[in-house]
Amino acid sequence: MSEEDRIKERVEKTMRLMETEERLKADPWFFTRLQARISARNAELLSPVRQGGRWRPVVLAALAGVNITIAALWTFGNAETRHKETAMAYLARDYGLTGEAGDWLYNTIGE
Amino acid sequence: MHAETADFRSIVEAHQDRVLNICYKFLHNREDAEDTAQEVFMEVFRSHAQFRGEAELSTWIHRIAVTKSLDLIRKRKRKKRLGSVKSIISIGEGRVEPTGPPTYRPDTAVEDEEYRQILYRAIDRLPETQKIALTLSRIEGFSYKETAAIMETSLGSVESLVFRAKKNLRTSLSRTFSGRID
């Protein structure tokens, strides 16, 4: 038998193995194990950690809201201070109150 | 549907053996096949509401079994690729799979097992659609019509895929046995 024939024979023998594949049978506990896995999955879905995850968008939105409010208060608060300082400067200049008198006016009204 | 209901139990019991065997024919490992078969029925339980009855229930379940098995194969391949990279980084630690031509052994069972492993590797190298068509029809014993329904394709396509799969398989096996590995 030539080498080529031997290879052909091996190939055909290997191809035939496809038809002699072992057939499995599910064990008697298959459904019981499946039920246990489904219950475990359901429990995991209902766990507080998972439930917390469901509220995550709400918490994030609330945090964003708080941040925006703080930023707005800080910005407008600063703007108010700036306006107050400018008004004091104009007032002091108009009344010729510079130096110590100006400081006195600023400290008295500005507080 | 509830996990405890008789409906679900009867569905599982009617299909568990076939699903287990489909998974086994793709995965070639009993433990992986059992685990994947359980995943299949968990998916059936989860998404039974999406089953619109356009196909038979069994076809739908078998399709999930094929998809889940292929997902695991892809995951394994990714892991293997990662392992190869790791073994390249740390030379000598990687497991080397036998790739050379099989040596002659008098024991037929051992020889069969060796040839079977070669067959599995050759099937794994086939394009995915050819692998599915061949596994379902030739190995798992579905008719071409049933295979076409599971694959959501035509009868002609399945015939063509199986024909090409067998041709490619013969070429691949010839190369392996003559010592020329793909």
Whether pLDDT at B119 is above 60: yes
Residues B2 and B82 in one domain: yes
Q: How far apart are alpha carbons A62 and B146 in whole angstroms?
A: 54
Is A10 buried (19+), middle (13-18) or exposed (0-12) by CB count in 10 A? buried
Q: Do B124 and B131 meet the contact criterion of CB atoms below 8 Å apart? A: yes
pLDDT score for B151: 96
Q: How far apart are alpha carbons A82 and B172 in whole angstroms?
A: 82
Q: How far apart are alpha carbons B133 and B127 in whole angstroms?
A: 10
Among candidates B38, B115, B118 on the partner chain, residue whose Cβ is nearest the Cβ of A37? B38
C-alpha dist (Å) from residue B38 to A22, A74, B60, B114 = 20, 58, 15, 29
Question: Is B169 in Cβ contact with A34 (below 8 Å)?
Answer: no
pLDDT category at A4 given cuts 50, 70, 90 is confident
Residues B3 and B89 in one domain: yes
CATH number at residue B120: 1.10.10.10
Residues B62 and B76 in one domain: yes
Q: How far apart are alpha carbons B19 and B174 in whole angstroms?
A: 32
Task: Report the phi/psi class of residue B9: left, alpha or beta, with left for phi > 0 and alpha for psi in -120 to 50.
Answer: alpha
| Domain carrying residue B106 | 101-182
Residues B46 and B90 in one domain: yes
* Domain edge (last residue) among B96, B112, B133: B96
Question: Is A21 in Cβ contact with B25 (below 8 Å)?
Answer: yes
Q: How far apart are alpha carbons B173 and B111 in whole angstroms?
A: 15
Residues 6+ apart with CB under 8 A from B51: B57, B60
CATH number at residue B48: 1.10.1740.10
Residues B14 and B90 in one domain: yes
- A30-83 pLDDT, tens digit each: 999 999 999 998 888 777 666 666 677 888 889 999 998 888 888 777 666 667
* Domain edge (last residue) among B70, B96, B122: B96
Residues B106 and B166 in one domain: yes
* Domain edge (last residue) among B79, B96, B113: B96
pLDDT score for B143: 96
Residues B72 and B140 in one domain: no
Question: Is B45 in Cβ contact with A15 (below 8 Å)?
Answer: no
Interface confidence, given as ipTM, is: 0.74
Among candidates B24, B122, B174 on the partner chain, residue whose Cβ is nearest the Cβ of A7? B174
Residues B76 and B130 in one domain: no
Number of domains within chain B:
2
Residues B89 and B152 in one domain: no
Residues B117 and B175 in one domain: yes
Among candidates B9, B37, B115 on the partner chain, residue whose Cβ is nearest the Cβ of A17? B115
Residues B92 and B105 in one domain: no
Residues B160 and B126 in one domain: yes
Lowest average pLDDT, out of B23-27, B42-46, B57-61, B99-103, goes to B99-103
Which of B17, B58, B37 has its CA nearest to residue B147? B58
Give the mean pLDDT of A86-94: 78
Whether pLDDT at B85 is above 90: no
Q: Please give the interface size between A and B, counted as residue pairs whose CB atoms are below 8 Å apart.
A: 78
